[in-house]
Amino acid sequence: MSSHGSNLCVTVIPCSGGDLIDILVLYGGNSAEREVSVQSAVCVIEAFSQTAHRVLSLDWRGKAPSERLLALAKEADAVFLALHGGSGEGGELQAALEQTHIFHYTGTGPSGAALALDKAAAKARMEEAGIPVAKGTVWNPLSPPPELSFPVIVKPRSGGSSVGLRCIEEGADLAVYRGGEPMLIEEYLPGREFTVGILDGEALPPVEIIPNGGVYDYRHKYEVGATRELCPAPLEKGKTEQLKDLALCAFKALGLRDFARIDFKENHHGEPILLEANTLPGLTKTSLLPLAAQTAGIPFPALCERMAALAAKRKRDL
């Protein structure tokens, strides 16, 4: 990716004929997941380099969209959001785009995006829909912690990529959070861990996640070799279908669109419990949505094409 101006980063891939769409890739953002976003964008642009699309990429810094960004977005047939966390995944950018009649961006709209990124609100909505979720409570680190049965999982109320996620063994360890942002404290679930990708209304094969020691935190998620991922997950057919059905129910309950990734862990009884939903899941070399798609017979370039095509269709349908 080559820089042009202070924030603009543009790559042009020449067209070679056929039914083409121009794609604007937005990456970067203003969250702790900025590095992951850059990695996703590199992989997405590389994937589109294997096609005949003309691709522009823009390092968006999380501010109100500039006139330049909006002009590029209106010109493009699809705006590909390679963003994770913050206002890029939480609905603010989506709302700003829609205010200028740009609806052809990838992923979920403003309300669903905002709901899914707020883990506590999303869990409440899914619980209302009858979906089993991990028990937990929001804790403001300026206040004393609630009475807890340890160990517990502590993670930011908003955000993804397992940034800030820790398994806390005893109350004294909570001191590391004093004075920080609101956190979500959840019961520790001891069973197997899975994720289910959703693409265009269909559930992809579940992935089993097996960290090599510890919990599935940021390091285990992005360090090559730190985690084993089995896809399709070695499950009986009934359990596979159960996970897929729960993922689709969560997708619908949260008002999501196009694609997502839904995370689960088993309780003491081996029952799947929903952890959270990701509306702009990672697209890096170690990410799980591409793995599930590949298992379903959708190579990574074709996955990116389908994501962009879903957004482009909204522009054509206006």
Active site residues: 33, 161, 222, 261, 263, 276, 278, 282
**What tokens were used for 315?**
């522009």
Alpha carbons 184 and 15: distance in angstroms, whole number: 47
Alpha carbons 138 and 120: distance in angstroms, whole number: 7
List residues bridging with 154 in a β-sheet: 166, 185
Alpha carbons 90 and 282: distance in angstroms, whole number: 15
Phi, psi for residue 289 in degrees, rounded to 5:
-60, -45
Nearest CA to 162 among 84, 228, 233? 84
What sign does the dihedral 126-168-218-32 (CA atoms) show?
A: positive
Nearest CA to 23 among 66, 70, 79? 79
